[in-house]
Amino acid sequence: MADLVTVTVDGEPLAVPAFTTVAAAIAIAMRGVGGTRRSVTGEPRAAWCGMGVCQECRVTVDARAHVLGCQTLCRDGLSIETMR
């Protein structure tokens, strides 16, 4: 089994396998409900393409806004804030 790292998603601690993407950690934390942010019309958005092109997975990571969650790996102590 992979080593676990602990990240914080919207203030809640979450243990995930090392090398998990931030987008996957958010999906685990939200249990498939919710998303990474809201559109300008209020619709929930989430990772779509998985390769950074659509930019639907943008989140704040360690106080840095607009980080692509599908392209960022989790590491121990990482702070993730969705823009919901």
Structural element, H or E, at residue 30: helix 22-30
- pLDDT (tens place) for every residue of the chain, 84 residues total: 569 999 999 999 999 999 999 999 998 888 766 677 778 888 877 888 889 899 989 999 999 999 999 999 999 999 999 976
Q: Which CATH number fits domain 4-81: 3.20.20.100, 3.10.20.30, 3.30.70.270, 3.20.20.70?
A: 3.10.20.30
Sorted by sequence, the CB contacts under 8 Å of residue 63 that are 6+ apart come out as: 79
C-alpha to C-alpha distance for 57 and 45, rounded to whole angstroms: 7
Whole-number Å distance between alpha carbons of 57 and 44: 11
Residues 6+ apart with CB under 8 A from 15: 4, 5, 6
Listed by start position, the domains of the chain span: 4-81
